[in-house]
């Protein structure tokens, strides 16, 4: 199931960085959902390189075409094929890496796994593969919005050591909040955050002081031929209680798989996450209270899930991304035969992946939630 994600909603992506095109087939989406190329293009544009001074300048226009599954602006319930042509190909950029696997890239492992190498090196481990995910995610999101009013907003919560604070969605318990935001200087409210607020900053951190510091950090690594990592936090609001399949396909398990499947991801936490591992039960437990649509919880350290199933509270989680492996400095390493070799700076790359990872995180979240929505419906309650 390598290039396919999901059970009831199945997303299959295809395409090499330097082949004809990239895209996705989205199968299982209900019929009658409003969907146009424009809906999808909006998210693709947010993923596209060259949006600002702090992203790579590879000039892809990334225009999506819907090949099937949509007629008259609505889904037919049949597979939706989405294609984006690869425009700005420069395979010659990769000439210098022939014979030398790039450190912390997938060149070496792809060679071992397949016995062959695509001209672009790491094959499908390219960031360009995520075009298909974002296109598919936009379709999944159209369904979630139309049928359930689900809202998904992601943002950059840290770059290098600089982080913006995100309380555990309760406000009541500052000790707990502090546990996850000790280095932060500003606080972001996950209950009201919008994509507009996020996009107001090139670095996509909706807190002006933090954003300024993050931007400076990125410009600094750019100047020094280096790169830097970061984290993306995502909140999903209006998720009905009851989504997520018990045991192995728990909602948090599928989100973790989805996030760790994004290139450069190294960590995932939901709700209290790693900070929760340092807490006591009496301070971590979310007690129930009466809310408008049934029961809710007073606090939300659980991150909106209990036993793998959504409980009606906002679902929020954070994903860690390592610094971009491609850097603008010489690296002393080995060639495929094990001989000493020096890898020269090459190609174009982002000094920090997290601003462009924001729509990718949202897309994968949408795909997971839509799959879980359909799975719950199959249960016939």
Contacts to a copy of itself from residues 92-111, by CB under 8 A: 101, 103-106, 108-110
Task: Assess contact for 226 and 349: CB atoms under 8 A.
Answer: no
Q: Which of 6, 3, 2 lies closest to 365 in space, CA to CA?
A: 6
DSSP 379: T
Task: Assess contact for 35 and 142: CB atoms under 8 A.
Answer: yes
Give the nearest distance from C-beta 325 to a copy of itself in angstroms. 6
Paired tokens of 290:
């009466």
Mark residues 331-350: x for contact with a copy of itself by CB under 8 A, - for none: xxxx-x-xx-----------
Task: Assess contact for 23 and 84: CB atoms under 8 A.
Answer: yes
The answer to whether 272 contacts a copy of itself (rule: CB under 8 A) is yes
**How many residues are recorded in the chain?**
381
With contacts defined by CB under 8 A, how many residues of the chain interact with a copy of itself? 153
Give the nearest distance from C-beta 196 to a copy of itself in angstroms. 26
The answer to whether 314 contacts a copy of itself (rule: CB under 8 A) is no
Give the nearest distance from C-beta 178 to a copy of itself in angstroms. 13
Paired tokens of 37:
């190329």
The answer to whether 293 contacts a copy of itself (rule: CB under 8 A) is no
Name which position in 92, 175, 192, 280 contacts a copy of itself (CB under 8 A).
280
The answer to whether 25 contacts a copy of itself (rule: CB under 8 A) is yes
Site for a copy of itself in 109-148 (CB under 8 A): 109-110, 112-116, 118-119, 122-125, 129, 147
Q: Look up tokens 């610094």; give the residue.
A: 323
Task: Assess contact for 201 and 183: CB atoms under 8 A.
Answer: no
The answer to whether 316 contacts a copy of itself (rule: CB under 8 A) is no
The answer to whether 276 contacts a copy of itself (rule: CB under 8 A) is yes
Task: Assess contact for 301 and 276: CB atoms under 8 A.
Answer: yes
The Cα 25–Cα 307 span in angstroms is 31
Give the nearest distance from C-beta 208 to a copy of itself in angstroms. 21
């Amino acid at each position: 199931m390598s290039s396919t994600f999901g059970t009831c909603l199945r997303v299959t992506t295809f395409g090499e960085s330097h082949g004809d095109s990239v895209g996705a087939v989205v199968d299982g989406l209900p019929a009658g959902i409003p969907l146009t190329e424009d809906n999808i293009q909006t998210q693709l544009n947010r993923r596209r390189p060259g949006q600002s001074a702090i992203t790579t300048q590879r000039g892809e226009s990334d225009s999506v075409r819907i090949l099937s599954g949509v007629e008259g602006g609505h889904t037919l319930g049949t597979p939706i094929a989405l294609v984006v042509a690869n425009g700005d190909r420069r395979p010659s950029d990769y000439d210098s890496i022939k014979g030398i696997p790039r450190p912390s890239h997938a060149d070496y492992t792809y060679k071992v796994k397949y016995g062959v190498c695509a001209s672009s090196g790491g094959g499908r481990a390219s960031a360009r593969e995520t075009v298909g995910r974002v296109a598919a995610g936009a379709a999944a999101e159209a369904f979630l919005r139309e049928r359930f009013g689900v809202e998904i907003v992601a943002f950059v919560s840290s770059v290098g050591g600089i982080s913006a604070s995100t309380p555990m969605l309760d406000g009541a318990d500052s000790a707990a909040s502090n546990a996850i935001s000790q280095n932060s200087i500003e606080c972001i409210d996950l209950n009201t955050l919008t994509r507009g607020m996020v996009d107001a900053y090139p670095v996509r951190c909706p807190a002006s002081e933090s954003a300024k510091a993050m931007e400076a950090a990125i410009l600094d690594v750019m100047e020094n031929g280096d790169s830097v990592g970061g984290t993306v936090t995502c909140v999903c609001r209006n998720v009905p209680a009851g989504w997520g399949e018990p045991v192995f396909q728990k909602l948090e398990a599928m989100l973790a798989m989805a996030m760790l499947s994004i290139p450069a991801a190294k960590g995932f936490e939901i709700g209290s996450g790693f900070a929760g591992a340092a807490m006591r039960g009496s301070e971590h437990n979310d007690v129930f209270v009466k809310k408008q649509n049934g029961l809710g919880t007073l606090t939300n350290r659980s991150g909106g899930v209990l036993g793998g199933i959504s409980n009606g509270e906002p679902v929020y989680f954070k994903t860690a991304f390592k610094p971009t492996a491609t850097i603008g400095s010489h690296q002393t390493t080995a060639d495929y035969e094990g001989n000493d070799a020096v890898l020269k700076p090459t190609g174009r790359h982002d000094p920090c992946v997290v601003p462009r990872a924001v729509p990718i995180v949202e897309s994968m979240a949408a795909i997971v939630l839509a799959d879980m929505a359909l799975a719950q419906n199959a249960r016939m309650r």
